[in-house]
Amino acid sequence: MRGARFRRVVVRRPDLRQPFPVRFAERLRGRLVRRLTRRAKYLLLELSSRETLVVHLGMTGSFRVDGDRHPDPHDHVLFEMSSGTVIAFNDPRRFGVMDLVPSGALDRQAPFARLGPEPLSGEFDGAALAKACAGKRVALKLALLDQRVVAGLGNIYASEALHLAGLSPRQRASSIATRDGQPRDAAHRLAAAIKVVLARAIEQQTGRRYRHGRFRVYDREGQPCRTRRCTGSIVRFTQGGRSTFYCPTCQRASTRRAR
């Protein structure tokens, strides 16, 4: 898409998770994609019209190049580019989102206005994590899923990072900070672990090679812990409606557990 214009946009339904913007296809037609970036879990396509196409894939959304050659009933939007490429947005459960917002006001628009730092950026470290968690009585795992604490970290990698850092998902988020918000050693370990698991996932392309046997704890209920010299087994429980996987042997909760 980058460097090409939208020659034609075909929208096959009125909505995904929410309705498409007014005159969506018309506002895209003829516009050049100047830049393609990301913020948290959103893809950002900066257009020559001074608008930005904001895309969230939801749980099942994906883009397929040359989607017109292999049509699928879940291809809800077709982008025909000036390069001749046709890109289909496929989303079986329709949890994705597409919106058009003024580029200059992007940081002031919901949901971007309250997003925390990017986990792989220089702004994110143990000090930033401790400051964001100070005073929070919720469980540490739930705090990590709060996009105001760290942007873009999801359920799988929150569990993975906590295991690598040797911290319990059940302990209180405030336990990684002192009373005045200074980082404890746990905050530095956890921030470093988040960077490591995300970097590894990107290296493995978060694809089948990673999902099939590469996780430390995720989807490994009842299997042996992969921490060296640990004799524990992975346990699954539910937090905030999501599955959490951890080893109760090497991830013992601190005395400050969440309520």
Range of the domain at 54: 6-114
At 72-110, the pLDDT tens digits run 999 999 999 999 999 999 999 999 999 999 999 988 888
Q: Looking at the 3D structure of the chain, how many domains does it have? A: 2
Same domain membership, residue 141 and residue 104:
no
Residue 111 structure tokens? 């949901």
**Which neighbouring-strand residues pair with 63?**
89
Same domain membership, residue 173 and residue 78:
no
Q: Tokens 């099939």, residue? A: 212
Residue 5 structure tokens? 């214009």
Residue 240 structure tokens? 């905030």
Decide which of 114, 140, 161 is a domain's last residue.
114
Same domain membership, residue 203 and residue 140:
yes
Is 249 domain-assigned? no
Three-class SS state of 69: helix
At 15-66, the pLDDT tens digits run 999 999 999 999 999 999 999 999 999 999 999 999 999 999 998 999 999 8
Same domain membership, residue 42 and residue 88:
yes
Same domain membership, residue 135 and residue 176:
yes
Task: Give residues with Cβ within 8 angstroms of 125, minimum separation 6.
Answer: 188, 191
Q: What is the CA radius of gyration of the chain?
A: 21
The model carries a pTM of 0.83
